[in-house]
Structure 1
Amino acid sequence: MEPVHVAIIYYSSTGTIHTLARAAAEGAEEAGATVRLRKVCETAPVTAISARPEWEQHLTDTADVAEASHDDLEWADAVLFGTPTRFGNPASQLRVFIDTTGPLWFRGKLADKVYSAFTSSNTAHGGQESTLLALANTFCHWGGIIVPPGYTDPVQFQAGNPYGASHVAGDGPPGDVSLRAARHQARRVVGIATRLGAGGAA
C-alpha cells in the first residue's frame, strides 16, 4: 500500500503550536506517513504583530514554511489541525482558511478522511477542550472520521486531554509530555487511516 498522506495544518502566532505541529509531523513520519507541514496565512494587522516582538520573530523564523492550500486537503488521507485557543474557539486565522473550503466540501472532497486537532492556551482550563470540540463540529459537517487520542497511551494520563494534544503556554514552551502527546496523537491518526485504507482496498 502507498503510505498514508498526512497534512498538518496549523496557525501559530508565537511558536507554541508550531512546536506541537513539528512534533506531530515527527510522529506521523515515524508511523510511515508522507507528511506535509503547512501554516495558514497570517491575517492579523501589522500593528498588532509589531506590538509583540515574539510574534514578529516567529513570522521571520517560519518564513520558509509553506502556506496551506486546498490541494493539501485534497491530497491528504488524514489531517491534523493545530490552533491556539481564542476565547474558547479556534484562532480566526485558521477559521478563515477553513471557511474557504466550501467548494471542496460541496464536491465531497473532504469526506471520509481522518481528522484530529491539537491546541494550546495561555492558562490551564483556558478553553482547550472547547476549541477542539469546535473543530470537531466542522469535521462532522465535512463527513470526516474524527480520531482523538483518548487514553490510548500512558502519556495521555500525564497530558490529561483525551480530545487532542494540548499545552499551557503560560508555563513556557512545550515540554516532554506535550511533545510526546502530539507524537502519539499523530501516530494514532496514521494507524487508523492505514487500517481504513486497507479495509477500502480489501
Structure 2
Amino acid sequence: MTNVAIVYYSATGNVHALATAAAEGAEKAGAEVRLRKVAELAPAQVIAGQPAWAAHAEQAKDIPEATVDDLLWADAIMLGTPTRYGAMASQLKQFIDITGPVWQKGLLADKIYGAFGSAGTAHGGHESTLLTLHNVFCHWGGLIVPPGYTDDIQFHLGNPYGTSHVGGEGQPAGPVLDGARYQARRITQMATALKRGHVA
C-alpha cells in the first residue's frame, strides 16, 4: 500500500476543496490517504469578522491537524496553499518550518512531492506560489512530480506546476477538481512505482 499525505491550509474553503479532490484521486489509485490541515494562526476575532472564513473554520473543524509524523508516514506528500502575495500562506510555512529536525536526518528525502493552490485572480501568483513549495521539496531532497501536460485536462487548466484555482471565479468545480484528482493519481502511481523499485 502506498501512503499519501495531503497537507494543506485553507481559509475560505477553496484549497480544502482541492485537497479533498486530491484525496479522492489518490484513494482511487490505491493509496491510503491522510488528509490533514495545518494549524490556524489567525486570531479568532479576525476569523469571526470574515463570514466565509468563519464558515469554513466550522466546516473543517473535524479534520485532524497535520503533524511531522504524517510526513514521515507518507511515501508521497502533496502540499496545498492559497496565495499570499505570490507565496505560500504563513500557516503552511509555519508547519514547514518545524520539519528541521527530521530534515537534518534525511527523513524527508526520496519521497514523491507535489503542490496545489488557489489565488484570487488569474495572474495573482499561481505559479510563483507553487514554485515556492517546489523550493522546499528540493531542500528536503524530494522527487517533484508535477502534472505537466501529461493529460488532456492539463491543456484546459494550463498550469504544469500543480493544480491551481482562480478564487475570484467562485468555488472549485468541474475541471479544476478533476485536475486535482488527476495530479494526486499521477503522484500516487509514481510513488507506488518507486516503492516497488526499492522493494526489488
Whether TM-score is above 0.5 comes out as yes
Shift of 1:158: 0.6
**Which one is further off, 172-181 or 41-50?**
41-50
Question: How far did residue 45 of structure 1 move?
Answer: 1.6
Give me the CA root mean square deviation: 0.6
Compute the displacement of 1:108 (Å). Answer: 1.1
Aligned AA (2:8): Y
Match in the other structure for 2:152: 154
Matches within 5 A, 1:1-202: 3-202=1-200
SS in 1 for 2:121: coil
SS in 1 for 2:4: strand
TM-score (ref. length: structure 2)? 0.99
Provide Cα deviations, 1:6-46, integer angstroms capped at 9, x if missing partner.
Answer: 00000000000000000000000000000000000000122
How many residues are aligned here?
200
CA distance in structure 2 between the partners assigned to 1:128 and 1:45 by the alignment: 26
Give the TM-score normalised by structure 1. 0.98
Extract structure 1 runs of 4+ deviating beyond 4 A: none
- Give the residue type in structure 2 aligned to 1:51: G
Extract unaligned runs of 5+ from structure 2.
none
Q: Matched residue of 1:37: which SS?
A: strand
Cα distance in 1 for residues equivalent to 2:21 and 2:53: 20
Find the aligned partners of 1:127 and 1:46 in 2 and give their Cα distance.
27
Q: What is the CA-CA distance between 1:201 and the residue it aligns to?
A: 1.1
Provide the C-alpha distance between the structure 1 equivalents of 2:4 and 2:78, rounded to a whole number of angstroms. 8
Q: Which moved more, 1:48-57 or 1:76-85?
A: 48-57
| 5+ residue gaps, structure 1 | none
In 1, Cα distance between equivalents of 2:82 and 2:51: 18
| Paired AA for residue 161 in structure 1 | N
Q: Give a deviation string over 1:40-92, Cα, whole Å, max 9, x none.
A: 00001223212201101111111100000011000000000000010000000
Secondary structure at the counterpart of residue 77 of structure 2:
strand
Work out the CA distance in 2 between the residues paired with 1:183 and 1:121.
19
Partner of 1:13, secondary structure, is coil
Return 34-43 or 190-199, whichever deviates more.
190-199
SS in 1 for 2:62: coil
Q: Deviations over 1:153-179 (max 9, x none)?
A: 111011110000010010001020100
